[in-house]
Amino acid sequence: MALNLKQRFTVTFSLLFSVLLGGVLILIFALFSKFRHADFQSRLEDQLETDVKLFVDVNKADSSLVDLVERDAISHLVKEGIYIFDANLKLRYRINNNFPSTIWEPSDLSKLQTTEKLSKRKGQYDLYGMKYVSGGKTYWAIIEAEDIEGNNKLNYLKYLLLSAYAFGVVSVWFLSFYLSKQSLRPFDILRKKIQNYSDPNLKTRLPVSSRKNEIDGVATAFNLMMDRIDLAYSKQKEFTGNASHELRTPLSRITARLSNLREQNLDPTIDTELMEINDEVYQMGDMVSSLLLLSKITNNERLKNFPVIRADEMLFNCMNEKRLTYPDLKFDFDISSSETTGTTFEIHGDESLLRIAIVNVIKNGYLYSDRKEISIRLRRESDIIIIEFTNSGKNPEMADLNDLFRTFSRGENSAGISGTGIGLSIVKRVIDYHQGTVTFSIPKPGFNQVTMRFNAQ
């Protein structure tokens, strides 16, 4: 799943902080553990050296004095084990104070003979060994003990650091999300304003404050870009309108000349050719008129107050108009509504534009119908008025059926049918102009349907 800028900032910052905080806390724990080990090793060294001197120098290899000192010592080590060997590694002295078992191993004695000092940790116990020479005799001594106090402090520090890490990570995730949301809120507001830009409100510009921060810089650049787009768009629409208007005059003259020629006694073959040329000119004139209408719709500002129109009466008028053009066209008209008042199907709109849109849909339904029959259903659902145009015929083969509403777009079922590919784009432009929606669908194989939705009065 793709993350937006706010989420990427939150995740990246929080992960970096979590890794950094975890590394710092691990370093603190490792340094304290090393300090505890070194401190306890120093205590072991002092204790072992004292006991060896008492055993060798003071008591002349008699363990009674060492036992007495160990029993009466106020600060003796917890779970202590002391082992003194002669030069032949024969055990000469041993004392255990609640020590569960021997920690050192024979290999430790071998290593001690090589290094003359031994310091290691095994599990929760610490071990220290040393070489002691007195009176020309060599002794090897090992002490092992558990640093209960130090281990307790180390465990306490471990849980304290884990709690601090959990609290810090949770806090930074929430804070980073909150701060990123607050920091990027102006961009969200700017994005929503930009999304509202469309053809009718290209003149609107984003507000720029006097603070001159990054948001104001983006808004200023966007306004400059919109000025250039609006200028180019206006010139394009002006050219389309002017070109379409200028082309209508010569096309009308060509049509009139062709009609005059056909009134003369011409060869049937020539008359047929002239009729086909006249049809092509008529189709070209229809396309020019459609382009002119598109230009007028986009040039007009969105009307604030549309007059009230009865959708059912408008449909009847459009059907009567197309019956004159296509005498073999049949209609199946159905009105369904739970309302009984006369205002059931009233909408706000420009009737002339809406009639052009409806006539275009009826014309397409006739041309693409295999039975020259169109089913029209008018109904109301809550505050929405729905008009459905359904005809039987070949279905268009397109990945997205709504692409049919694009200018000059035609489906594969249009082969052999005259048309410009502008009719449905005019329909969509008119419906969008009235803040409605229009969709193309295939209710079942062999049937095509165009659905219009308007907000009821």
Under the banding of pLDDT at 50, 70 and 90, the label for residue 451 is: very high
In a domain, 171, yes or no: no
**pLDDT for 241:** 67
- The confidence band for 303, taking pLDDT boundaries of 50, 70 and 90, is very low
Please tell me the distance from the alpha carbon of residue 441 to that of residue 426, in angstroms, as a whole number.
Answer: 18
Q: From 265, 280, 299, give the residue that closes a domain.
A: 299
| pLDDT single digits (tens) 358-385 | 888 998 888 888 888 999 999 988 889 9
Question: What is the overall mean pLDDT for the chain?
Answer: 79
**183 pLDDT above the threshold of 80:** no
> In which band, very low, low, confident or very high, does the pLDDT at 167 lie, cut at 50, 70 and 90?
very high
State phi, psi for 455 to the nearest 5 degrees.
-80, 125
Average pLDDT estimate for 147-154: 86
SS3 content of the chain, % helix, strand, coil (to 5): 55, 20, 25
Q: Which of 38-47, 99-108, 403-412 has the highest mean pLDDT?
A: 38-47
pLDDT (0 to 100) of residue 74: 40
Best-predicted range by mean pLDDT among 233-242, 285-294, 399-408, 443-452? Answer: 443-452
107 with 126, same domain: the answer is: yes
Within-domain flag for 173: no
Flag whether 33 is in a domain.
yes
Considering only 139-143, 245-249, 268-272, which range has the smallest mean pLDDT?
245-249
What does the pLDDT read at residue 216? 76
Q: Are residues 267 and 323 in the same domain?
A: no
Would you say the C-alpha torsion 133, 136, 138, 141 has a positive or negative sign?
negative
In this structure, the answer to whether residues 226 and 360 fall within a common structural domain is: no
Condensed to tens digits (0 to 9), the pLDDT of residues 189-238 reads 777 777 766 655 666 777 777 777 777 777 788 888 888 887 887 777 77
CATH number for the domain that contains residue 17 = 3.30.450.20
Q: Are 236 and 87 in the same domain? A: no
Indicate if 247 and 359 belong to the same structural domain.
Answer: no
Last residue of a domain, one of 274, 299, 324: 299
Residue 431 has pLDDT above 70, yes or no: yes
pLDDT of residue 351: 82
- My answer on whether 431 and 289 are in the same domain is no
Q: What is the pLDDT of residue 26?
A: 94
- pLDDT tens-digit profile of 50-108? 878 877 776 554 555 555 555 555 445 667 788 888 888 888 877 765 555 667 788 88
Mean pLDDT of the 318-343 span: 77
> Do residues 120 and 144 share a domain?
yes
Asked if 85 contacts 140 with a C-beta cutoff of 8 angstroms, the reply is yes
Tens digit of pLDDT for each residue in 349-360? 878 788 888 888
Domain boundary among 107, 136, 166: 166
Has residue 178 been placed in a domain?
Answer: no
Q: Which residue segment(s) compose the domain that 384 sits in?
A: 308-455
For residue 250, the model assigns a pLDDT of 81
Model confidence, pTM: 0.46
Tell me the pLDDT band of 28, cut-offs 50, 70 and 90. very high
Q: Where are the beta strands (DSSP E) in 279-432?
A: 308-310, 330-336, 346-348, 373-381, 384-392
∠ CA 427-430-431, nearest 5°, is 85
Same domain, 33 and 121: yes
291 and 312 assigned to the same domain:
no
Domain count along the chain = 3
Q: What is the pLDDT of residue 301?
A: 47
pLDDT digits (tens, 9 = 90+) for 239-266: 766 776 677 778 778 878 878 777 777 7
Looking at the fold, whether 396 and 293 belong to one and the same domain comes out as no
Q: Which of the residue ranges 52-56, 112-116, 283-287, 341-345 would you say has the lowest mean pLDDT?
A: 341-345
- 296-323 in b/e form (b: 16+ CB < 10 A) is ebbeeeeeeebeebbbbebbeebbeebe
Q: What is the residue type of 137? A: K
pLDDT mean over 116-132: 86
Tell me how far apart the alpha carbons of residues 167 and 175 are, in angstroms, rounded to a whole number.
12
Residue 292's domain is classified under what CATH number? Answer: 1.10.287.130
Note the pLDDT of residue 299: 46
Predicted local distance difference test score (pLDDT) of residue 134:
82
* Strands across the sheet containing 125-134: 91-97, 80-85, 137-146, 125-134, 117-122
Has residue 300 got a pLDDT over 70? no
* DSSP letter, residue 63: S
Answer yes or no: do 362 and 436 share one domain: yes
Question: Do 232 and 373 fall within a single domain?
Answer: no
